[in-house]
């Protein structure tokens, strides 16, 4: 019984994650690369740069924490979820003009 419940919970989380990813893509550009490379073009403030560094640090810590998992499918799922969370957090750090600029940069560089 608990095994089935676990499988259902994992399937539910996977579905929610996929739906969130689709919503995210329709509303914004997925942030995969580090926006600090475009700091000047985005006109990021020092406080935003600091926040993005914190977000990146937490993201890499999460990846390091799951790297030792033996279940590769679980590692990929956790990595994908962490990347989605990182993207959302960075997106929230941007101001509206910076979001428009990021979309333009992403489109021009096929990010």
Compute the distance between CA of residue 63 and CA of residue 41 in angstroms, rounded to an integer: 29
**Cα-trace Rg, the chain:** 16
pLDDT of amino acid 100: 95
pLDDT of amino acid 8: 39
Check residues 85 and 4 and name the one with the higher pLDDT.
85
* Residue extents of the structural domains in the chain: 2-109
To which residue do tokens 């929610």 refer? 16
For residue range 10-51, list pLDDT tens digits in order.
444 555 555 455 544 445 678 888 999 999 999 999 999 999
pLDDT of amino acid 12: 43
User: Do the beta carbons of residue 89 and residue 33 sit within 8 Å?
Assistant: no
pTM: 0.71
- pLDDT for residue 64 is more than 70: yes
- pLDDT for residue 6 is more than 80: no
Compute the distance between CA of residue 25 and CA of residue 98 in angstroms, rounded to an integer: 17
Helix residue ranges, H only, the chain: 2-27, 39-42, 46-66, 72-93, 96-109
pLDDT of amino acid 27: 54
pLDDT of amino acid 84: 94
**Average pLDDT taken over every residue of the chain:** 81
């Amino acid at each position: 019984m608990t095994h089935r419940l676990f499988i259902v919970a994992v399937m539910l989380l996977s579905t929610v994650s996929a739906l969130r990813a689709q919503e995210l893509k329709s509303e914004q550009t997925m942030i995969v690369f580090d926006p600090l490379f475009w700091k000047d073009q985005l006109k990021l403030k020092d406080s935003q740069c600091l926040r993005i560094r914190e977000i990146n640090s937490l993201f890499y810590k999460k990846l390091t924490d799951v790297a030792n998992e033996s279940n590769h499918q679980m590692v990929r799922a956790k990595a994908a979820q962490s990347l989605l969370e990182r993207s959302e957090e960075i997106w929230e750090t941007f101001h509206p003009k910076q979001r428009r600029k990021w979309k333009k940069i992403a489109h021009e560089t096929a990010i």
